[in-house]
Amino acid sequence: MKTPKHWNRRGIRFEVMLSLTPIYYFFFLLKKRFTTAQSFPVPIICVGNITAGGAGKTPTAIAIARLLKKEYPKLAFVSRGYGGRHVAPYRVDRKKDSAMDVGDEPLLLADHAPCYIAEHRKDAIALAIKDGATLIIMDDGLQHFAVARDVNIVVIDGGFGFGNYGMLPAGPLREKIKGALARSHAILVIGKPRKELSEDLRLKALPNFSGTMTPKKPLPAKKRSYFAFAGIARPQKFYETLMQAGLTVNGTLDFADHHAYTTADIHTLTARATAIEASLVTTEKDWVRLPEHFRSKVQVVKAELTLDNEKALKSLLLKQIKKSK
């Protein structure tokens, strides 16, 4: 789905939705209370967030894998495979699987280390361990209580922060901030933090790290005009990244997060770009969801997370793993 506009500020829609929040929170607490966490013989790191929507979890998981690859050469990713067809535990095959099969994020993860998916994450973890994995990085799952973790990393989109600070569906919070931080070990803020995020004293209780999403080279030619599109939680971030990189963006079109592109979408995008004599450009996450025959007609800008103090983060991860095990 697209990120609701009322999640960013309080207004009439927020007030209307607020009456539904107690219902959501009741079922959240019910799930938390009656779910038993299963432990595993290998360290498990969870990269999650407190808000619904994208915060940069997948790039963070990839960055952590890069940090720990030397100590854990047989590490693996685990994902629920949102948007894919597989229910039973399955190892993603980057050469033959599509986003329709396994979801978009597992495809990106599988470029860096083995990635396992399943409807129930514990089943994916079990298969990964059976295949020889010595460390698991869970992409998302801070509110998933069926798996015991050794490290919880909270990822926050600096520009969005906690939005209007309301809980679903009135706001983006999946749970109370205090409760999430109480079972976490570190916070990673991606991008420049908004003022209220910088002033939130609750975040000071944990080690804080920061990072920036930067486009990977080579970039598309800067002399062209571009029509950009994205089906991610906050498409505007992508468009701003393109312009900051020096690309001329003369048109944009937003789709819902994890959107499965149809023939009608392709016709619309082609027509919109042709009308302004522009080339199409999108994110890597969107590109893998495009029909294969259309990908060659679309420029893709890949981005990676650059950590500001990766040595300190690596040290924290290794110390917490040692402490837990």
Per residue in 127-144, pLDDT (tens digit) is 999 999 999 999 999 999
* Rounded Cα gap, residues 231 and 27, in angstroms: 29
Amino acid at 122: K
pLDDT of residue 324: 81
Confidence of residue 82 (pLDDT cuts 50, 70, 90): confident
Average pLDDT (247-260) is 95
CA–CA dist 223, 247 (Å, integer): 8
Residue 92 has a pLDDT of 98
pLDDT one-digit tens code per residue, 108-119? 999 999 999 999
What is residue 2's predicted lDDT score, i.e. its pLDDT? 78
DSSP per residue, 24-63? HHHHHHHHHHHPPPBP-SS-EEEEE-SBSS-SSHHHHHHH
Residue 103 has pLDDT above 70, yes or no: yes
The number of angstroms, rounded, from the C-alpha of 176 to the middle of its chain's C-alpha atoms is 20
Range in 56-65, 236-245, 273-282, 312-321 the model is least confident about:
236-245
Give the pLDDT band (50/70/90) at residue 83.
Answer: confident
Say if CB 319 and CB 150 are below 8 A apart.
no
Q: What is the pLDDT of residue 198?
A: 87
Indicate the DSSP class of residue 193.
P
Residue 246 CA neighbour count, 13 Å, CB half: 7
Q: What would you report as the CA-atom Rg of the chain, rounded to the nearest whole angstrom?
A: 20
Please give the average per-residue pLDDT across 232-249, as a whole number: 93
Q: Would the pLDDT of 325 be above 70?
A: no
Strand partners, 156: 189
C-alpha span between 49 and 155 (Å, rounded) = 5
The Cα–Cα gap between 14 and 87 comes to 35
Per the CB < 8 A criterion, the answer to whether 78 and 137 are in contact is: yes
pLDDT averaged over the chain? Answer: 95
Segment 180-209 mean pLDDT: 93
- Give DSSP secondary structure letters for 63-109: HHHHHHTTT-TTEEEEE--TT-S--S-EE--TTT--HHHH-HHHHHH
Tokens of 1: 């789905």
CATH of 217-301 given 1.10.150, 3.60.40, 3.40.50, 1.10.10:
3.40.50
pTM score of the predicted model: 0.94
**Residues 325, 317: Cα–Cα separation, whole Å:** 12
What is the pLDDT averaged over residues 267-276?
A: 98
pLDDT band at residue 265 using 50, 70 and 90 as cut-offs? very high
Count of helices and strands (H, E) across the chain = 12, 13
Please, what is the Cα angle at 280 between 276 and 285, to 5 degrees? 150
Top CATH class, 5-73+134-213+309-324: alpha beta
- Name the residue ranges covered by the structural domains of the chain: 5-73+134-213+309-324, 217-301
The residue-averaged pLDDT of 199-227 equals: 93
Same fold, 5-73+134-213+309-324 and 217-301: yes
Are the C-beta atoms of 106 and 99 separated by less than 8 Å? no
Return the percentage of the chain with pLDDT > 90, whole number.
89
User: What is d(CA 3, CA 12) in angstroms, rounded to the nearest whole number?
Assistant: 17
The residue to which tokens 């361990």 are assigned: 129
